[in-house]
Structure 1
Amino acid sequence: MPFYQQSGVLFFGSRLRRLSESFLADVNRVYQQHGITFDAAWFPVFYMLSQKEILSIREISGELETSHSAASQLISKLQEKGLIRSASDKSDARKKLVAFSPKGQKLLKQVLPVWNAMQHAMDELLAESPDTRQLMTSILETEKSFQRKSLYERIETHLGSENISDHKK
Structure 2
Amino acid sequence: MDFYQNLGFLVFGSRLKRLGSTFINDVNRIYKNHKIPFDASWFPVFFILSEKEEISIKEISDSLKVSHSAISQLVSGLQQKGLIKSVTSKTDARHKNITLTAKGKKLLEKIKPVWAALETAMNELADESGSSSKKILKALTGIETGLSRKGFFERIEAHL
Correspondence 1:32-111 to 2 at 5 A: 32-89=32-89, 91-93=92-94, 95-111=95-111
Q: What is the number of residues matched between the two proteins?
A: 158
Q: Does 2:153 align with 1:152?
A: yes
The alpha-carbon deviation at position 8 of structure 1 amounts to 1.9
The alpha-carbon deviation at position 10 of structure 1 amounts to 1.5
- Cα distance per residue 1:114-142 (max 9 Å; x no partner): 01111111111122211101111111111
Aligned residue type for 2:18: R
- Cα distance per residue 1:134-168 (max 9 Å; x no partner): 11111111111111111011011111xxxxxxxxx
Aligned residue type for 2:23: F
Corresponding position of 1:137: 138
Give the unaligned 5+ runs of structure 2: none
User: Which runs of at least 4 in structure 1 moved beyond 3 Å after TM superposition?
Assistant: none
Q: Distance in 1 between matches of 2:139 and 2:126?
A: 12
Aligned residue type for 1:144: T
TM-score (norm 1): 0.89
Query: Percent same amino acid at aligned positions?
Result: 50
Give the unaligned 5+ runs of structure 1: 160-169
- Cα distance per residue 1:58-101 (max 9 Å; x no partner): 000000001110111111111111100013436252x3300000
SS of corresponding position for 2:60: helix
Instruction: Compare CA radii of gyration and give the structure with the larger one.
Output: 1
Correspondence 1:111-126 to 2 at 5 A: 111-126=111-126
TM-score (norm 2): 0.94
Q: Is the 8 A contact 1:55 1:99 kept in 2?
A: yes
**Further displaced range: 104-113 or 123-132:** 123-132
